[in-house]
Amino acid sequence: METTRKMSDQTPVLECRNLSISYYTRAGEIPAVVDFNLKLMPGESHGIVGESGCGKSTVALAIMQYMGKNGAIVGGELLFEGRDMRTMSAEELRKLRGSKIAMVYQEPMASLNPAMRIGEQLSEVPIYHEGVSQNEAWQRSADMLAKVRLPDPERIMKSFPHQISGGQQQRVVIAMALLSNPKLLLLDEPTTALDVTVEAGIVELIRDIADEFGTSMIYISHNLGLILETCDRLTVMYSGEAVEVGDIHDVFDEMRHPYTRGLFGSIPLPGADKNEHPLVAIPGQLPLPHERPKGCNFGPRCTFFRQGTCDTGRLPMHSVPGDDDHRVRCERFQEIDWARDLPKGEAKPPVESGDVVLSVDDMTKHYVIEESGFLIFGGEEKTVKANEKLNFSAREAETVAIVGESGCGKSTFAKVLMGLEDATAGHVKLGNVELGDLPVDKRDEKTISRLQMVFQNPFDTLNPSHTVGGQIARVIRKFGVAKAKEEVDEIVYRLLDIVKLPRDFAKRRPRQLSGGQKQRVGIARAFAGNPDVVIADEPVSALDVSVQAAVTDLLMDIQRENRTTLLFISHDLSVVRYLADRIVVMYLGQIMEQGSTEEIFSPPYHPYTEALLAAVPIADTSIEKRHIVLKGELPSPSNPPKGCPFSTRCQYMMPGKCDVEAPPIRAFGKQGHEILCHLDPSEMQEMEPVIKKKVEAA
């Protein structure tokens, strides 16, 4: 077999030896990456994983030798096929880039030139690297577009980037990278900007490329699950350093660095449960590059930290005994009993849910978009069906998750609930108050205070011009919880205690807080008026994994304490599985399936739920997943397909039925499990589970 050939016989495609990269700013030199080693063999794919600010993207740009004005490689060697790239001339580098080394970027839209047709941008590559003729370059580009499975390559060649969807754009970028058959492909978070079902398609494509072209790959991601699906080897980075390197299965199954394990402990894997197996967050925060501690960078957050061992100067990488390829940057890894000292959360008793608090009955929201009319000149009218006949209810102390990809109408639903939009038809009842046609300025203070919201973007959630305390205090006064200054201050302090922030944060401005801390303040603000229902719109999706767990748990704790109803809006099925009691799956403004968490995650499935489950990458080697890749892209909500909205992408599509008639609601079980589908109930019952424990080969 190929892989059994001894590695030392081959020249590595890329080798980084003790690479150090710094940025120069007003504050002086900031080391971004220190002492980075990597050896990439032909045909191998290597993952680099880490949280934001760990230096993983810096490594990618350093490999491309594109550091901008203020960045520079300050030490070490960077060998490409045995030659040090640092000694190459600008012209040699130019010839290497795009032909031997190619890159795929995080944001496909921004990476393509908006003013040039795609064909022109693609055919440049062979023209400038191989000197082929215009016609041949064009032909090769079109062929490559077909290879990355884009429909109708000729049409796409003639389009501008904004005329195709995000997933298609990323395929174009991948095609561009593959055009000159590179030796090394760098992928920097290539699917982060895309929806899960689109991501699944791209990941499948990347895997096939590795097989078909034999290209070596470096795959950079914050998502451990994606790395598991695409890579052979893995480097875990923390605060500018590689902390653990090894074969992917070794690292996943026998991790030997406390940070790696902390990371795994804070992501919701199947089996995690908010009551029995709560997540364990890594305490503390990522240190700033110029405030890194002496010794181990992870020291201040590590439970195994020992003075005298972990804080004395630079730490080297050690090989794990018995496996030369598995290396960790930890002084104590051999002293730790890795099987016993697993991070374990405290189990909590499950909460009994109470009466129905919020009921949504045939709620419909249509937008009418006028084609930007001017004064007397109205344009054509277009109706966007953002929400179509939504039906569900939420009980006291219950967590209901609303899941869906972009354009599914989950944010519109939140707006109607909060009174920023009127419902077009149907009812939304909070207790016995009808909210559907009651905009927020007509609601009384009592009603408003019963319904509050936690927002998605930590950078936007707080007003940068006012202090943290001032913003919480405003809510307390506004909802009449307290009026006197001392009383209000007391409540502000108590809320800060609850969200585990120091009291002197009240005087700080949001700019001085990290993303996770801002989100905690956002939660404190939402709970300041003692609400009955809190809507959380993707509250953790913009946060790093280790912070996500802490914020999620905090939210759950406060909810448990106050018996609040939580509507959790998310696109992330893993988080939802972890914390939700009931799940509502939405697609293009309609509810496709709803039921208890257990019911959603096991057959019968709605075909969309089935695909969604299959698309979510899972960072667990003991899990087996069925492969379903949806064809096509999400249709635009302003122009939804006739019949079933999912009919254009469904693998069970029955022509003449699904694309013509609206599907019926099929009910299963007694707990209100409902599926909106034409499929026969028995057919759905027979579906295989998507996620299964691997059967151990005994």
**Strands (E) located in 529-639:** 533-537, 565-570, 582-587, 590-596, 623-625
Of 691, 598, 498, 586, the C-alpha closest to 273 is 598
The residue among 233 and 525 lying less far from other proteins, judged by its C-beta, is 525
Choose, by CB under 8 A, the member of 48, 49, 62, 125 that binds other proteins: 125
* CA trace torsion 247, 251, 252, 258 (10° rounding): -170
Q: Which is nearer to other proteins, 112 or 576 (CB)?
A: 112
Which of 476, 675, 498, 502 is CA-nearest to residue 594? 675
Site for other proteins in 632-691 (CB under 8 A): none
CB of 500 to other proteins, least distance (A): 17
**Is position 515 an interface residue for other proteins (rule: CB under 8 A)?**
yes
| 408-427: contacts with other proteins (CB under 8 A) | 418-420
Measured distance CA(326)–CA(553) in Å, rounded: 33
- Is residue 80 within 8 Å of 60, Cβ to Cβ? no
Q: Does 178 bind other proteins (CB under 8 A)?
A: no
In the complex with other proteins, the residue whose CB is nearer, 565 or 597, is 565
Gyration radius from the chain CA atoms: 27
599 backbone dihedrals φ, ψ, rounded to 5°: -65, -40
d(CA 3, CA 229): 19
Region of 500 (left: φ > 0; alpha: ψ -120 to 50; beta: rest) is: left
Per-residue contact track with other proteins, 574 to 613, x per CB under 8 A? ----------------------------------------
**Near other proteins by CB under 8 A: residue from 1, 339, 368, 375:** 375
Choice from 17, 39, 86, 97 touching other proteins (CB under 8 A): 97
Q: How many CA atoms lie within 13 A of 131 on its CB side?
A: 1
509 interacts with other proteins by CB under 8 A: yes
- Cβ at position 27, least distance to other proteins in Å: 7
- End-to-end alpha carbon distance in the chain: 24
The 255-294 site mask, x for binding other proteins (CB under 8 A), equals ------------------------------xxxxx-----
User: Residue 160, interface with other proteins (CB under 8 A)?
Assistant: yes
* Candidate segments 257-265, 370-378, 482-490, 599-607, binder of other proteins by CB under 8 A: 370-378
| 444 backbone φψ class: left, alpha, beta (φ>0; ψ -120 to 50) | beta
Q: Which helix H or strand E contains 157, and what residues bound it?
A: helix 153-157
Q: Which residue in 166, 458, 640, 645 binds other proteins (CB under 8 A)?
A: 458
Determine, following the binding rule CB under 8 A, whether residue 463 of this chain makes contact with other proteins. yes
* Residue ranges in 543-562 that form contacts with other proteins under rule CB under 8 A: 543-544, 547
Minimum distance from residue 97 beta carbon to other proteins (Å): 4
Tell me which of 445, 487, 561, 680 binds other proteins, using CB under 8 A: 445
Q: Would you say 569 and 537 are in contact if contact means Cβ atoms under 8 Å apart?
A: yes
Select from 136, 276, 460, 598 the one that contacts other proteins (CB under 8 A): 460
Q: Are 565 and 533 in contact (CB under 8 A)?
A: yes
Q: Which is nearer to other proteins, 98 or 407 (CB)?
A: 98
Nearer to other proteins, 167 or 645 (CB): 167
Is the bond leading into 604 cis (omega within 30 degrees of zero)?
yes
| CB within 8 Å of 65: residues ≥ 6 apart | 78, 85, 86, 88, 93, 97
Give the number of residues written for the chain: 698
Taking the least distance from each CB to other proteins, the nearer of 114 and 308 is 114
Residue with tokens 């106050």: 562
Which one among 181, 303, 383, 512 touches other proteins, defined by CB under 8 A?
Answer: 512
- The residue within the footprint of other proteins, chosen from 452, 564, 570, 590 (CB under 8 A), is 452
Instruction: Find the part of the chain contacting other proteins (CB under 8 A) among 508-516, 568-576, 625-633, 688-696.
Output: 508-516
Contact set for other proteins, span 20-79 (CB under 8 A): 26-27, 52-53, 64, 66, 69
Using the rule CB under 8 A, which residue among 83, 466, 507, 631 binds other proteins? 466
Which residues from 324-363 bind other proteins, rule CB under 8 A?
none
> How far is Cα 330 from Cα 323, in angstroms, rounded to an integer?
16
Closest CB to other proteins among residues 53, 407: 53
Q: How far is the CB of 489 from other proteins (least distance, A)?
A: 19
3-class state of residue 241 by DSSP: strand
Report the residue from 511, 642, 693, 694 that binds other proteins according to the rule CB under 8 A. Answer: 511
Which of 39, 45, 511 is closest to 242 using CA atoms? 39
CA distances from 371 to 378, 380, 465, 531 (A): 7, 6, 36, 39
Q: Which amino acid is at 444?
A: D
By C-alpha distance, which of 149, 230, 225 is closest to 630?
149
Alpha-carbon span 649 to 629, nearest angstrom: 10
Among 465, 530, 638, 685, binds other proteins (CB under 8 A): 465
* Block residue for tokens 């077009």: 424
State in angstroms the smallest separation of the CB of 370 from other proteins.
12
State which residue, 164 or 615, has the beta carbon closest to other proteins. Answer: 164
CB 161 within 8 A of CB 118: yes
For 548, the 3-state DSSP assignment is: helix
Q: How far is the CB of 452 from other proteins (least distance, A)?
A: 7
Decide: is 461 part of the binding site for other proteins (CB under 8 A).
Answer: yes
For the bound state, the minimum distance from the C-beta of residue 66 to other proteins, rounded and expressed in Å, comes to: 6
Q: Name 50's Cβ contacts closer than 8 Å, sequence gap at least 6.
A: 56, 222, 236, 237, 238
Query: Could you tell me the smallest distance in angstroms from the CB atom of residue 9 to other proteins?
Result: 30
Backbone phi, psi, residue 63, to 5° = -65, -35
From CA 573, how far away is CA 511, in angstroms rounded?
Answer: 31
| Site for other proteins contains 369 (CB under 8 A) | no
User: Does 17 engage in binding with other proteins (CB under 8 A)?
Assistant: no
The least CB distance from residue 277 to other proteins, in Å, is 27
Q: Which of 77, 79, 81, 111 binds other proteins (CB under 8 A)?
A: 111
CB of 265 to other proteins, least distance (A): 20
Query: Stretches 98-106, 391-399, 623-631, 638-646: which one binds other proteins (CB under 8 A)?
Result: 98-106
- The CB-of-433 to other proteins minimum distance in angstroms stands at 14
DSSP, res 445:
H
Distance CA 423, CA 407 (A): 17
The one among 1, 324, 374, 655 contacting other proteins by CB under 8 A: 374
- Our finding on whether 89 is near other proteins (CB under 8 A) is no
Buried b / exposed e over 11-46, threshold 16 CB at 10 Å, is ebbbbbeebbbbbeeeeeebbbbbbbebbbbbbbbb
Residue 77 Cβ vs other proteins, minimum distance, rounded to whole Å: 21
**Which span sits near other proteins by CB under 8 A: 140-148, 334-342, 441-449, 690-698?**
441-449
Assign 331 to helix, strand or coil. coil
**Smallest distance, other proteins to C-beta of residue 354, A:** 24
Exposure class string for 49-62: b at 16+ Cβ within 10 A, else e: bbbebbbbbbbbbb
Question: Minimum Å distance from CB 552 to other proteins?
Answer: 16
**For residue 402, what are its two tokens?**
């609303």
Pattern 180-199, binding to other proteins, x per CB under 8 A?
A: --------------------
